[in-house]
Chains A and B, each alone.
Chain A
């Protein structure tokens, strides 16, 4: 009886640790899911005299991808974004970057974005709760954030989470 109890407690502790240690501490649950995408009006990366606002996408399901030329993981996820952008409107948020670095980066690696906005000071990124580039948001027709991914999008996450969600929201 006693052995049973002790092994039960041990098993419970083990299970708790297994779950706890398996969690990724970098995955901070975003309070923005289900909330309207924070408003902004930013100049375009390519043409500084034009601006873009999140309002311009109302009525569309779209992806906002935060990237920078100084961010190696952004290059890692670049093919995945390129693939996604073929079917979903994808807007880039160029984060704390310089135009003279960002534009050649797009030229070198290909520009999958419908357009990129230029957030040199990172102010808008703070409103979006960005803390590690790249970050990716799926925003629905009503302008509500439905999904957020921190870190490079893997082909698996794109296939299993982002694409099904976009398909569901586009219905």
Chain B
């Protein structure tokens, strides 16, 4: 009986070990997978998608990280095959300048238009001629 219980305990322990063999690696895999786009369901990350390709690519990430690759190396591996499109944060380069700078460009443009309108609307101080001043002075006496 005791031997059986012991065996059960050992079995359970080994099962638990298999489930989270390397929690640190799991964490790295899911962190990286949530930065990469699944190409099959394009609005999902590799971490969210259950498409067969996403599963394969997650396994790729795991294998490569396990083999000692850095996050950067795995990302480069994906970009070399699927292009910048796999990145949820596209890099800043010539073809993406408008993407990154566009909003700020519009902000500056909007600010400029607003400034122009406000200054235009300001009523200029009426200019009084010498004769008007004399007339006003007379009326105020």
- Interface positions of A (Cβ within 8 A of B): 25-26, 28-32, 96, 121-122, 126-129, 131-132
Contacts and interface: CB of A to CB of B under 8 A. Distances in A.
A126 B81 contact: yes
A127 B80 CA distance: 9
A129 to B, nearest CB: 4
Interface of B: 39-40, 42, 52-53, 56-57, 60, 79-85
Contacts of A30: 83
A122 B52 CA distance: 10
A32 B85 CA distance: 13
Contacts of B80: 31
A128 B83 CA distance: 11
Contacts of B79: 31
Given A126-B57, A131-B40, A32 B52 contact: no
Contacts of A127: 81
Contacts of A25: 42
Contacts of A32: 81
Contacts of A129: 81-83
Contacts of B81: 31-32, 126-129
Given A126-B60, A132-B40, A96 B52 contact: yes
B83 A31 contact: yes
A20 B42 CA distance: 17
26 contacts: A25-B42, A28-B39, A28-B82, A28-B83, A28-B85, A29-B83, A31-B79, A31-B80, A31-B81, A31-B83, A32-B81, A96-B52, A121-B56, A122-B52, A122-B56, A126-B57, A126-B60, A126-B81, A127-B81, A128-B81, A129-B81, A129-B83, A131-B39, A131-B82, A132-B39, A132-B40
Contacts of B53: 122, 131
A31 B85 CA distance: 10
A32 B79 CA distance: 10
A122 B59 CA distance: 12
Nearest to B85: A28
A26 B42 contact: yes
Contacts of A126: 56-57, 60, 81
A150 to B, nearest CB: 9
Given A122-B56, A126-B56, A126-B60, A31 B82 contact: yes
